[in-house]
Structure 1
Amino acid sequence: MPSSWKISGLAPKRAVQAALLEQDEREDWDGEIVLVGREIAENRPQEWVLEAFLPRSPTDDDEDAIRSLFEGGAPAFVTEELADEDWLTMSQNGAQPITAGRFYVHTPDHPARGDASLIDLVIPASQAFGTGQHETTAGCLEMLTAMRASGVRVRAIADIGTGTGLLAFGARTLWPSATITASDIDAVCLDVIEHNALLNDVPLGSGRGKLTMLVADGMDHPLLEMRGPYDLLIANILAGPLVELARDFADHVPPGGNVVLAGLLETQERAVRQAYRRAGFRLAKRLVNGDWSILWLRKRR
C-alpha cells in the first residue's frame, strides 16, 4: 500500500474554520489533499488543529497551498509519514459508540446496547466517511428520527455521497418498505457498503426494502434518474456541492418531497438555504450540532 502523510498545525478555532471554508471555495483544490479540523481536547474548545492527509509525500506546492488558506499567516506545520495503513481507518479506530435519535451506532469492537427502543447499527472503521462520530452524521440521524416521528411517509430514498452507507441504512429502518438508492463519487464505497450491508442485515437489490449502490457524481447517473423521483433525498457532503446541486435535487424530488442536507457549517447555512429557496424548497426544520447545521427542506407544492 502506498505511504500516507499528514501535515498538521495548531491554530484558533476561527482560523481553522476559516481555512476550511476557504478550501471549500477553491474549485482548483487538489482532491488528494483531505483536510480535517477539530478541537484538540474537549476542555479546550477554542484550540483546534488542522490536519491535511495525503496519499503521497507532500511537495512544497502542497504545503504552500495549505498555508495559503490562512489569512494573516499560517501556523507552524509538522509533517509526518503515517504507518502503512489507511489514514481514515486509523482515525476512526477506537471510535466510541454514539446515540443519535433512535439510533445506536457502534463499531464491531463494541457490543450492541440491548435496548429495544434503539435501532442498532454496526459501522466498522473503513476507507469511507460516516461512522456516526461526526456531528453532521449524528445530526442527520436525529433529523431522520424527527421526520419519521412527525409522520413523513417515504416510498423512494436516495442517499447522495453515502460513504459507509450509514444514513441509507438508518433511513431504511425508519421506512422499511421504501426503495433505497445510495451513491458516492468514490468507487471504494462499493465494497465498503456491501460489507456493511451484510453486517446490518440490509438486503442489496432493486426491490422495496432493498438497497441499490452505484458510483455517481451528484445526480449524474441513468439509474438515479430511473429510480426517482425521491420522496426523501439525503446529502451529507459539503456546502459548495450542495449549492451546485440544488437545481438537480429539485428535478428529482416531487412537490411535497423532502431533502436532508448536512456537511455545512452554520456560517455556510445562509448560502445553502438561499440556493434551495430559489430551487423551490422551504425550510421545515433545522438542527445545529456543534458548529454544523442540518437542514430538512420540503419542496413547495
Structure 2
Amino acid sequence: MNDAVAAPAGQSWKVTLPCTRAEAEALDGDIAAFALMDRPPVLMTSEASPDDEDQWQLDAYFEGKPSAAAVKLLKTLVPSASRTKPAIEQLPDEEWVTISQQGLEAVTAGRFHVRNLASDPEAPGHVNLLIEASRAFGTGQHETTAGCLAMLDRMRRVGMRYRNVADIGTGTGLLAFAALNLWPRAHAIASDIDPVAVEISADNAHANGVMLGSGAGQLALVTAAGADHAAIIGRAPYDLLIANILAGPLIELAPSLCALVEDGGTIVLAGLLNGQADAVLAAYRAQGMRLAERSDRGDWPTLRLRKRPRIGWKRPQRLRANARGEAPGFGSI
C-alpha cells in the first residue's frame, strides 16, 4: 500500500505526546483515525522511562507541518494527555518513513514472515521476505498489507491458480513478491504512482531474489497513475489483480481495474475501513464483480471479488487461429 512517500527535504515533522502503556498498546498498528487524510501520519509508541513501565510516549511522523486539527485528533487517541501541550518539531533532512519504520517487529501472515531489518532472525517453515525500512510504505506491519498476504496465502491453499497478475499501487513490491512465490510460473506486473516506490520495489526485488522482466516467473515494474500505462493495458486481461490503496482511489478506479480482469477473474482489494466497505463494494458490483470472501483485521477489511462471467451476446469471444472474423449464429453464412 503506497500510503505515503518520502517527504520533501526539510518538510518532515514529529509530534510527541505522553501516554500510558494501556493507551500505547491500544494504538498498536492503528491509524484508522487518520485514514481519510491524503498523507496520514505514522504512529510509533515507545517506553519513555526505564524506571516507570507505565510511562510511554506517542510519536507521530507527519509529511509536512501538522495542522491544528490533526494535532487535536492525535490528542484524542491518548486521553491521558488531553491537557498536555504536545512537543512539535521539524526533523532534519532525513527520510521520514525510514526513521519511523526502524525497529518495527517482524510480521507473520499466512505462510509469509516479513522482516523489517536484515538482522532479524528468519522464521523456520515460512517464506521469509525482507522489506527494510525505506522511503515507501508496505512493509507488512499494517493490517491492510498483512490482510492481503493472509488472503493470498489462503487462496493458494484452497487450490486457486493464476497465470497473469497485476499489483496496482505496489508500494514496496511486497504483495507482488508474495504472489510470485505462490504462483511462480505466473507473469506479473506491479505499478505505483510514485517513481520512488518503483525504485524501492526494484531494490527489494533484488534483495528477495525476485527476477525482474516480462517473462513467466518475473516481475515487471512501471510508474503509473492507477492502471494508466501501456504495459499494464497491453498485458491484460488479468486473472488476478491486487489493489491495496485507499477507499477513494479504489472507487474511482473501479471501472478501469475491472475492465482489466478476465471473466471469472479475481480482484483483491484493501486499504479501506469497515465503514467504507459498502461504498467500495457498490462501485465494483456495478462493474460486474461479486464478493467471494471478506476478511477483517481490526478496522481494515480485505475483500476478494470475482468477475461474473458474461453470457449470451454479451460474452466476448476470442477468434480461433483459422477464423475469418465471422460469428456463426449471428448472421454469418
* TM-score normalised per structure 2: 0.75
Residue 299, structure 1, aligned to residue 299, structure 2 = no
Task: Report what 1:35 is aligned to.
Answer: 40
2:190 to 154, 178, 182: 182
Task: Report what 2:122 is aligned to.
Answer: 112
Q: Which runs of 5+ in 2 are unaligned?
A: 1-7, 47-56, 77-81, 310-333
Q: SS of the residue aligned with 2:144? A: helix
Task: Report what 1:125 is aligned to.
Answer: 133
- Over 3 Å counting, the alpha-carbon distance change for 1:18 and 1:101 in structure 2 is closer
> Does the aligned pair in 1 maintain the 2:44–2:100 contact within 8 Å?
no
Query: CA offset at residue 18 of structure 1?
Result: 7.5
- Over 3 Å counting, the alpha-carbon distance change for 1:49 and 1:242 in structure 2 is farther
Distance 1:102 1:226 in 2: 32
Residue 266, structure 1, aligned to residue 274, structure 2 = yes
> Does the aligned pair in 1 maintain the 2:44–2:60 contact within 8 Å?
no
> Does the aligned pair in 1 maintain the 2:144–2:244 contact within 8 Å?
yes
Query: CA offset at residue 268 of structure 1?
Result: 1.1
Distance 2:235 2:137 in 1: 24
**CA radius of gyration, larger in:** 2
Distance 1:187 1:18 in 2: 26
Measured against aligned partners, the alpha-carbon deviations of 1:210-250 in whole angstroms (never above 9, x if no partner) come to 00000000011111100111111111110110111111111
* TM-score normalised per structure 1: 0.82
Distance 1:219 1:185 in 2: 9
Distance 2:31 2:130 in 1: 30
RMSD over equivalenced CA pairs, Å: 3.0
Query: CA offset at residue 158 of structure 1?
Result: 0.5
Task: Report what 2:89 is aligned to.
Answer: 80
Q: Which runs of 5+ in 1 are unaligned?
A: 24-30, 42-47
* Structure-to-structure mapping, 1:140-179, within 5 angstroms: 140-179=148-187
> Does the aligned pair in 2 maintain the 1:20–1:37 contact within 8 Å?
no
Quick one: which amino acid aligns to residue 175 of structure 1?
W
Quick one: which amino acid aligns to residue 181 of structure 1?
I
Distance 2:294 2:171 in 1: 23
- Over 3 Å counting, the alpha-carbon distance change for 1:194 and 1:247 in structure 2 is same
Quick one: which amino acid aligns to residue 260 of structure 1?
V
> Does the aligned pair in 2 maintain the 1:203–1:209 contact within 8 Å?
yes
> Does the aligned pair in 2 maintain the 1:225–1:252 contact within 8 Å?
yes
Distance 1:2 1:269 in 2: 36
Task: Report what 1:28 is aligned to.
Answer: none
Distance 1:271 1:261 in 2: 13
